[in-house]
Structure 1
Amino acid sequence: MKKLKKYVCIGSIVLMMVTIIVLCFILKSKVKTENRWKEAITNVKSYENMFSDSKDKSIAFQLTIAQLKHSNDSIFQELDNTRKELKIKDSKLKSLQHISSNFIKSDTIILKDTVFKNKGINIDTLLSDEWYSVRVGLRYPSSVTVTPKFKSVKTVIVSTKKETVNPPKKFFLFRWFQKKHTVLHVNVVEKNPYIESQDNRYVEIIK
């Protein structure tokens, strides 16, 4: 009788432990599924925002490394290729940004004297390549219009890196025992060869 009670007690404990493990697994799966659902909703909103009239704000996409690598989106592929060129590891990657913009301005010069004697002169010419174009217009009697256009495509990649708090020791064994902290690195890659990056400043808000 005592043995039976003992077996029943052990069986009850085992059953309770199995139940707890199963419940934990179900809860974990539920949370994971809910998070994936929220990420999918966020990405839908991001795509909707892309095709809206609003160009002043964007909604960030939420992707895993695997989703980024296997995405068919050409911009996501370009972002992934750029971070590979920079040799940034998957575990160190924090965020990726693609910023595309155009600069265009038209100026007209009207001279006092007649420059073009032919009254029918009305010439438009365009010089261009992938990143820059300039349209020049000539009008009778003395009007010259110049319209330059630049295209800027920036890739901004934020990653983390462990660095020594104090200047690193020359001998690698000594560096192992130095105190380290995590530093955010921001890489800005401008695709347009005519544009030179100057003062870039990024602030991380800490709590």
Structure 2
Amino acid sequence: MASTELVELQPEVASPPTRPIESIEVGDLADRTGSLRSRTRFTHEDAAELHRDVLFTEWQQLTSTRGKLAPAAMLEQIAELGFSWRDVARLLKVSVPAVQKWRRGEGVTGPNRLNIASLLAMCQMLAEHYAVQEVASWFEMPLTSKCPVTPMDLYATERQDLIFDYASSHADVEQVLNDYDPDWRERYASTFEVYEAADGDLAIRPKE
């Protein structure tokens, strides 16, 4: 009688699921592009900060040069650009009588002389670097029709960095406004709308 050899059956071991090669490549690519976007963002921020530092350094150097002029002479050059004395007083954070006194050659404190030189230097940089013509009226021009904020508002609140960003177009208008006033949309939201009346003319009415 032939002997029967018992064969012990080994349980099958399930192989761990493997990702298709295409899936692995796409996953790696997603990680790499995500990392690249992060590095690009940081590089952009670093470049923007460096550019701003360079502009401020040049502004300071030009301010020192312009500051060698007599205050009355600097004010005369600012007036020739088209600024009213009221606007000059606002930008310098002083009264109109104080500006008029300086025009007559009366005493000016050191900090005020520096402020006059800084304003004159800023106007020169805007004209030379960014081809801004008629600088005074440019200072009064709203950044957008959506709100009344102007470069003069930026300067008066010591946001000269945003003036450089706006003039150079390195930041769009909404980004400049967001940095200046995060609530500008709500603050200047209009409660009126323009519509075409029955006679075909445009008219204004409260929004519903």
TM-score by shorter chain over 0.5: no
Q: With structure 2 as the length reference, what TM-score do the two structures score?
A: 0.32
Structure number with the higher strand fraction is 1
Larger radius of gyration: 2
TM-score, structure 1 normalization: 0.32
Structure richer in helix, relative to its length:
2
